[in-house]
Amino acid sequence: LSELQRREGALRQELAERERHGEEQAARAAQLERELAALRRQRHAGEHETVRPLADALEAAAERHGAERTRLEAAAERHRGECDRLEVELRRALRASEDLQGQHMRLESSVQNHVQRNAVLEGKHAQLEASERVNASRLADLESLCIQLETSEQHHAARHAELRRLRTGSQV
């Protein structure tokens, strides 16, 4: 984008310089035409025979300046066309830049939404891990109680067997 702006500025500056140069050429051509007209008047008046080569030289110079002016005007027109084309490209680039900024903003919003969702999921994950630790602790407690219960049942069965043996032994 800045390259396009730089090129556009350079072309506009060159165009202005060429137009200024064209105006100077036009002023010089007008001056030469006035001098030529004066010399023609002198020649027609028959005052000096040496005026003719000078008048011819001035006429040739005026023609060269006219051709240069025509060339500069054509170049100025080409440069105006180039400036117009660059302006169109610049507008197109600006629209593309605005589109990209809009996409960037939408993506940023989407990323923020995902970050928030991720934070919620991480919180739920932490809760699940804490719940798993509590459940593991409860399971360990239950396993310990089961072992105690089995031990107690074995002890109870042994006492029951002892009592039964004692009862059957006392009845005999």
Residue 135 included in any domain: no
- Report CA-CA distances (Å) from 171 to 58, 91, 166, 167: 163, 117, 9, 6
Identify which has the larger pLDDT, 20 or 165: 165
Kindly report the pTM of this predicted structure: 0.40
Question: Which tens digits make up the pLDDT trace of 17-60?
Answer: 877 787 888 787 788 888 888 877 776 666 555 556 777 888 88
Q: How many CB atoms lie within 10 A of CB 36?
A: 18
Residue 131 included in any domain: no
- For residue 59, give its domain range: 2-124
Which H or E element spans position 71? helix 51-171
pLDDT of residue 80 exceeding 70, the answer is yes
Residue 78 included in any domain: yes
Alpha carbons 156 and 163: distance in angstroms, whole number:
10
Look up residue 162 and give its two tokens: 């002892």
Query: CB pairs under 8 A, 24+ apart, for 23-28?
Result: 25/65, 25/68, 25/69, 25/72, 26/69, 28/65
Place of tokens 């932490």: 126
Q: Structural domain tally of the chain?
A: 1
Amino acid identity of residue 82, one-letter, is: E
Question: Which tens digits make up the pLDDT trace of 82-111?
Answer: 888 888 988 888 898 889 999 999 999 999
